[in-house]
Amino acid sequence: MNILAIESSCDDSSAAVIQNGTLLSNVVASQLVHQQYGGVVPELASRAHQQYIVPVVDEALRSAKIAKKDLTAIAFTRGPGLLGSLLVGTSFAKALALALDIPLIDVNHMQAHVLAHFIENPKPQFPFLCLTVSGGHTQLVLVRDYLDLEIIGQTQDDAVGEAFDKTAKLLQLSYPGGPLIDRHARDGNPDRFRFPTTDMPGLDFSFSGIKTAFMYFLRDQTAKNPGFIEENLPDLCASIQATLIRMLMQKLRKAAAQTGITYIAIAGGVSANSGLREELQKTGAELGWTVFIPRFEYCTDNAGMIAMAAHFKALRGDFCPQTVSPMPRMAW
């Protein structure tokens, strides 16, 4: 079984080939056009997907050494994501499946982030908890089986990736700011500044308050000293990063205590954060968790994770009709 998977939900154009559950290729073209605008411009993202999709698919097939005629199914991200971006991947997948007369598999992007854990060893055992943290979502997921996933907590406003990117913007860093905060934080003191945080009931999160508190804090400090950001950049990055990680870890600990589950995973773009990875290792050692942290390339958006999810759906015969359309707010 050879599946070609396509990911085009946001600003990464990606294609991958999986053969009977083994990933043969995973090609990602990150769109650099958005950097100059300080965030993803949806119209430019869909245009860039149109430019990249053919070369990215060709390269994925070439490096997997799989010809189009040997494909068994075409998978694609149906949602959640930007409508225009999703349309490019969906239309391409539908056209190719029709031309090759093979079935289509629609994949939920957030479920795929979790299932990225099955690309490589060690693979988590069921049931496990996955903290999925990306630019658009922050979810605590109880994973009972490959396709039996339940969201037990989530953000009620901004995603944590958005909090990273927006605070980075306030610090005059470019987009995406998450990796830049991570880099500067390595040279800073995480205890230098304290910011007020919002504690939501249960296992839910809220990140809009911290962003606003940070904005007012910077406004007041720069009014007193215009060079404040420049003079304190590493400490500011380390302190805001530590605050965001504390907020995530507090709910993760709570979810683990409530469910009694000790297999704990992280997924999504923010799981590439070195501070979060370290903190998870430390907490895991302290509480006797077995932790699962994906390789960097499987944290941020990639078609390899779409291919992995598609593999499990194909095993179940879970295909979708040619009339399928993208779902920007796809739930599960």
Looking at residue 16, what DSSP letter applies? E
Piece in contact with Zn ion (CB under 5 A), picked from 19-27, 207-215, 294-302, 306-314: 294-302
Piece in contact with Zn ion (CB under 5 A), picked from 51-59, 134-142, 164-172, 225-233: 134-142
User: 84, 103, 153, 269: which one contacts ligand KG4 (CB under 6 A)?
Assistant: 269
User: 273, 294, 298, 308: which one contacts ligand KG4 (CB under 6 A)?
Assistant: 273
Give the contact letters, 287-316, x = binds to ligand KG4 (CB under 6 A), - = no. Answer: -------------xx---------------
Q: Where are the beta strands (DSSP E) in the chain?
A: 2-7, 12-19, 22-30, 73-79, 104-108, 128-133, 138-145, 148-154, 263-267, 290-292
202: left (phi over 0), alpha (psi -120 to 50) or beta: left
From residue 204, give the alpha-carbon distance in Å to each of 141, 248, 255, 279, 287.
11, 10, 10, 20, 22
Q: Copy the structure tokens of residue 145.
A: 């089986």
Work out how close the CB of 305 gets to ligand KG4 at its nearest, in angstroms, rounded to a whole number: 9
In a 3-state reduction of DSSP, which class is residue 225?
coil
Piece in contact with ligand KG4 (CB under 6 A), picked from 58-66, 203-211, 264-272, 287-295: 264-272
Q: Does 107 bind ligand KG4 (CB under 6 A)?
A: no
User: 79, 89, 188, 268: which one contacts ligand KG4 (CB under 6 A)?
Assistant: 268
Q: What is the rounded distance in angstroms from the CA atom of residue 266 to the CA atom of residue 281? A: 11
Residues that bind ligand KG4 (CB under 6 A): 10, 134-136, 161, 164-165, 176-179, 182, 268-270, 272-273, 300-301
Residues that bind Zn ion (CB under 5 A): 134, 301
